[in-house]
A and B are shown apart, each in its own frame.
Chain A
Amino acid sequence: MNIDPIHQFEVQRYADLLRVSGVSFSFTNASAFMIGIVGAIFLFLTFATRGRTLVPGRMQSVAEMSYEFIAKMVRDSAGNEGMVFFPLVFSLFMFVFVANVIGLVPYTFTITAHIIVTAALALLVIGTVVIYGFWRHGTHFLHLFVPSGVPSFLLPFVVLIEVVSFLSRPISLSLRLFANMLAGHIALKVFAFFVVGLSSAGIAGMFGATLPFFMIVALTALELLVAVLQAYVFAVLTSIYLNDAVHPGH
Chain B
Amino acid sequence: MTKTWKLTVAAALMGLALAAAPAVASDSAKPSSGPAGAAVAQQDHGASTGAHVAEVVGEAAHGGEHKGGFPPFNPATFGSQLAWLAVSFGVLYLLMSRVTLPRIGRILEERHDRIARDLAEASQRRAESEAAQIAYEKALTEARGKANAIAGEARNRLNAETETNRKSLEAALTVKLEEAEARISSTKTDALSHVRGIAVDTAQTIVNTLVGTTPGQQDTESAVDQVLSRKAA
**Residues of chain A at the chain B interface (Cβ within 8 Å):** 1-3, 6, 9-16, 23-31, 34-35, 37-38, 41-42, 45-46, 49, 52, 54, 56, 60, 63-64, 67-68, 86-88, 90-91, 94-95, 111, 113-117, 120-121, 124, 178, 182, 192, 195-196, 199-200, 206, 209-210, 213-214, 217
Contact = CB atoms under 8 A, between A and B. Distances in A.
A194 to B, nearest CB: 11
Contacts of B88: 31, 34-35, 37-38
A49 B52 CA distance: 45
A30 B18 contact: no
Given A35-B84, A114-B81, A24 B39 contact: no
Q: Which residue among B10, B70, B93, B114 has the maximum number of chain A CB atoms within 10 Å of its CB?
A: B93
A13 B101 contact: no
A142 B99 CA distance: 35
B206 interface: no
Interface string B176-219: 00000000000000000000000000000000000000000000
Chain A binding surface, main DSSP class: helix
Nearest to A118: B72
Contact of A25 (B27, B79, B93): B79
B56 A64 contact: no
Count class of interface residues, chain B: 35 or more
Nearest to A92: B89
B108 A68 contact: yes
| Closest A-B pairs by Cβ, 9 of them | A87-B97, A23-B79, A31-B84, A34-B88, A196-B21, A9-B71, A11-B77, A12-B36, A38-B92
A13 B40 contact: yes
Interface string B110-121: 110010000000
